[in-house]
């Protein structure tokens, strides 16, 4: 293709990307200031706010809590999502469209509504396990996303792969475990990664369900802002940004960007 005339398009793209990234740039910038105020552009350059954050135990504690929470809720979403996706992808049953719409609906209801609902449920059961009830809530929140992505990937798999496995002597379950699921592994890993991130970043449901004994990283940031707007907040945010971007790049390297974009 003669692409030499495409430069206006790429200029537009660069501007858009800059616009979308501006919040991240501002936070990263604000984290290296020498002053004691959350401001942009920063005054001078220093890493002292990073030192302060890494020195405070509360940040590492909440980080570990958030990672644990994200891992457990991702596992719940995966366990629950795989059979549901398989059933939807096979899907020569009536009402498939309606069922898909229902599966997607938790994705499209305000998380505040989910929070209220879960609060009602948990107040009935009276079980006092804040970590597990939040993990379960995040599982409910992220599973529709995983099901959506995995169903789309499974529908792309040539059905003759499953048939070939059966013809070669595999049982129905064996054909899925040994052939169909390995074929969609990249999509599954990408979907699991996103489920992890969705849980890791979630704030609203966490605020409602966690109770006084459980604090996630976004909750800690939220609480901190109420008291003081110190550049330490920006430093924490900067660390989070670098960690997620690194995660995306690693996944992209392993799976190829096409998988992730889809």
Q: Are 261 and 249 in contact (CB under 8 A)?
A: no
Q: Which of another protein, a second copy, none interacts with 121 (beta carbon under 5 to 8 A by kind)?
A: a second copy
Q: Enter the DSSP assignment of 108.
A: G
Q: Which does 39 bind (CB under 5 to 8 A by kind): another protein, a second copy, none?
A: a second copy
Rounded CA-CA distance 177/101 in Å is 27
Q: Are 175 and 162 in contact (CB under 8 A)?
A: yes
Q: Does 230 bind a second copy (CB under 8 A)?
A: no
What is the distance, to the nearest Å, from the Cα of residue 53 to the centroid of all Cα atoms in its chain? 24
Binding-site member from 70, 74, 134, 143 for a second copy (CB under 8 A) = 143
Task: For the CB of residue 31, give the shortest distance to a second copy in the complex, in Å.
Answer: 11
Report the nearest approach of a second copy to the CB of residue 123 (Å): 8
- The binder of a second copy chosen from 4, 20, 94, 127 (CB under 8 A): 20
CA separation (Å) from 90 to 18, 148, 158?
42, 14, 12
Q: Which is nearer to a second copy, 54 or 246 (CB)?
A: 246
Closer CB to another protein, residue 24 or residue 157? 157
Nearer to another protein, 168 or 245 (CB): 168
Which of 49, 50, 59, 200 is in the footprint of a second copy by CB under 8 A?
200
Residue 135 in contact with residue 72, Cβ under 8 Å? yes
Cβ proximity to another protein, 29 vs 186, nearer residue: 186
Q: Locate tokens 């992890």: which residue?
A: 196
The site string for a second copy over 42-81 (x = CB under 8 A, - otherwise) reads --------------------------------------xx
Q: Closest by alpha carbon to 72, among 130, 127, 139? A: 139
> Which listed residue (180, 188, 234, 235) binds a second copy by CB under 8 A?
234
The least distance separating a second copy from the CB of residue 32, rounded to whole angstroms, comes to 14
- Binding status of residue 168 toward a second copy by CB under 8 A: no
Give the Cα separation of 74 and 135 in Å (integer): 9
User: Measured from the CB of residue 88, what is the shortest distance to another protein in angstroms?
Assistant: 21
Which of another protein, a second copy, none binds 155 (CB below 5-8 Å, type-dependent)? a second copy
Say whether residue 204 binds a second copy (CB under 8 A).
yes
81 binds, among a second copy, another protein, none (CB under 5 to 8 A by kind): a second copy
Label residues 240-256 b or e (16+ Cβ within 10 Å = b): bbeeeeeebeebeeebe
Q: Residue 235 binds what, of another protein, a second copy, none (CB under 5 to 8 Å, by partner type)?
A: none
* Residues 150 and 159: beta-carbon distance below 8 Å: no
Q: Are 195 and 41 in contact (CB under 8 A)?
A: no
| Residue 197 CB-density burial (10 A; 0-12 exposed, 13-18 middle, 19+ buried) | middle
Residue 61 or 171 having the CB closest to a second copy: 171
Say if residues 196 and 109 touch (Cβ distance below 8 Å).
no
């Amino acid at each position: 293709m003669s692409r030499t005339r495409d430069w206006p398009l790429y200029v537009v793209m660069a501007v858009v990307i800059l616009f979308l990234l501006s919040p991240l740039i501002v936070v990263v910038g604000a984290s290296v200031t020498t002053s004691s105020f959350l401001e942009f552009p920063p005054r001078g350059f220093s890493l002292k706010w990073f030192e302060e954050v890494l020195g405070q135990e509360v940040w590492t504690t909440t980080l570990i809590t958030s990672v644990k929470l994200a891992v457990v809720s991702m596992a719940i979403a995966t366990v629950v999502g795989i059979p549901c996706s398989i059933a939807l992808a096979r899907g020569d049953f009536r009402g498939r469209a309606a069922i898909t719409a229902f599966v997607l609906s938790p994705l499209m209801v305000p998380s505040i509504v989910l929070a209220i609902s879960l609060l009602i449920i948990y107040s009935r059961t009276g079980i006092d396990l804040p970590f597990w009830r939040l993990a379960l809530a995040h599982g409910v929140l992220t599973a529709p996303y995983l099901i959506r992505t995995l169903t789309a990937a499974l529908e792309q798999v040539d059905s003759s792969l499953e048939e070939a496995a059966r013809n070669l002597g595999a049982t129905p379950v064996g054909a899925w475990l040994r052939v169909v699921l390995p074929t969609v592994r990249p999509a599954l890993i990408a979907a699991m990664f996103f489920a992890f991130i969705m849980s890791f970043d979630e704030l609203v449901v966490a605020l409602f369900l966690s109770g006084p004994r459980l604090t996630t990283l976004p909750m800690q940031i939220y609480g901190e802002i109420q008291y003081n707007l110190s550049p330490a907040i920006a430093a924490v945010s900067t660390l989070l940004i670098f960690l997620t971007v690194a995660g995306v790049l690693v996944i992209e390297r392993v799976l190829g960007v096409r998988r992730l974009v889809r």
